[in-house]
A = this chain, B = another copy of it.
Amino acid sequence: MNVEGLILDIDGVISRGRKPIERAIDGYRILKDVGIKTVFVSNNSTRSRRIMFERFRQFGLDVDEDELIIATHATALHIAKENGRTRVFTTGEDGLKEELINLGHELVDYRDAEYLVVGSNRGINFDIFTKALRLALNSEVRYVAVNPDRVFPAEDGPIPGTGLIIGALYWITGRQPDVIVGKPSKIIIDQAIERLGVSRERVAIVGDQIDVDVLAGKNAGIKSILVLSGVTNQENYEMKVRETGVKPDFIFRDLYELAQKLKSGK
């Protein structure tokens, strides 16, 4: 397989919601033992890295700060690369705000904003929508979305993702984001490859979703590995491939099976 670095999805790969997948945790330790470099990539648009580290500790995993790229942080980083310290209006929650502030951006009233940053918000209201709408109508304002996620599976049923706000603004103004940072965009994947410090052809992305993880791999021009420990299974695999038009380069039952394969190849 010739892989030295792995970009790992979190939900459906290492955990399901708040529950760790024990075999995957074992798999992760094998990867470390055999010297595979890893970085976790999450599309989450509401949490800061700090909150995610706490979750990893609860899983019994000791993950470096450098080993986690979350879309909130990736968005703040991407804006800094594009425009330096920036005056931002965001629809998002405290986790996103924390990451924006940490990278030197200034959260401002919508009238003073150079960037509109759209992230999901469980406290969304008419006032936030109105401000976002007015910014989206201003072509001089750059419009960045943390991820394009439509729905998120909560315990009692689906809840809206960032797509709630993207869709509302698109319907009203005809405008879509200038930049989407999270998967399947290559922006967050390029950040992850840079973080791994491994040449692109020796990096693979590992995830449970064909339209998110596998597609992100294709968009970034790297190998993709599907694991069947999350939303994709033997039953819906063919349908998902038809819907998206992309196929993973490799398929494994879970991260443990992948780790065993990589170990045996060493």
Contacts and interface: CB of A to CB of B under 8 A. Distances in A.
> On chain A, which size bracket covers the interface?
20 to 34
Interface string A147-165: 0001100000111110111
In the assembly, how many copies of this chain are there? 2
A127 to B, nearest CB: 9
Contacts of A172: 150-151, 160-161, 163-164, 167
Interface stretch (A66-74, A129-137, A205-213, A230-238): A129-137
Interface stretch (A12-20, A118-126, A182-190): A118-126
A170 interface: yes
A166 interface: yes
A171 B39 CA distance: 31
A239 to B, nearest CB: 15
Nearest to A176: B171
Contacts of A151: 133, 172
Contacts of A166: 171
A168 B158 contact: no
Nearest to A111: B157
Nearest to A161: B172
Nearest to A134: B157
A141 to B, nearest CB: 14
Given A121-B126, A124-B125, 19 more contacts: A124-B124, A125-B125, A130-B159, A133-B160, A150-B173, A160-B168, A160-B172, A161-B172, A163-B168, A163-B172, A164-B168, A164-B172, A165-B168, A166-B171, A167-B172, A168-B168, A168-B171, A170-B171, A171-B171
9 contacts: A122-B126, A133-B151, A137-B158, A160-B168, A163-B171, A163-B172, A167-B169, A167-B172, A170-B171
